[in-house]
Amino acid sequence: MIQRIQTVYLLISALLTGVLPYWAYLWVDGAGEPVYARQQIWVAGGFYAAALLAIIAILRFSDRKQQFVLNRFNILLNLFLLGFFVYQSLNISGETAVSEKGIGMLIPIFSIVFLVLANKAIKRDEDLVKSVDRLR
């Protein structure tokens, strides 16, 4: 059923990774220009892939186990994006008064949180179905 709470969590995750990286800058380069996800082709691809996986997981509502696996794969993809952003932020010079890191680097963290919440809801649904099947 599409009206379950994990659908809301997955939709929020898809919107976070599909829309927000193109409005919030990731970091500021040496020339003082903000760098957005659309300027880095594989970062944009990573965000698009994460959004696409969340949408596919929403559409696979009838197969909860596959939905769970897709969410885990999406969490891994967001962890790789987060790892790249941590590496990039360590290589960008910055000082305490003026930070050159953008808010866009936090998008994978928020996406991971919503994906974990969706997986907990999927697990709860799966346990409920198993308990009902036991009673029959």
Low-confidence ranges of the chain (pLDDT < 70): 1-2, 30, 92-100, 135-136
Rounded to whole angstroms, the Cα distance separating 80 from 8 reads 24
pLDDT for position 127: 86
Amino acid at 89: S
| Tokens at 74, concatenated | 């999406």
Number of domains in the chain: 1
Domain assignment present for 90: yes
pLDDT for position 100: 65
Amino acid at 48: Y
Domain assignment present for 134: no
For residue 37, give the DSSP letter. G
Domain assignment present for 115: yes
pLDDT for position 97: 44
Give the domain range for residue 98: 5-129
pLDDT for position 96: 47
Domain assignment present for 83: yes
DSSP 3-state of 101: strand
pLDDT for position 115: 95
Domain assignment present for 43: yes
Domain assignment present for 118: yes
Domain assignment present for 135: no
Domain assignment present for 136: no
pLDDT for position 129: 83
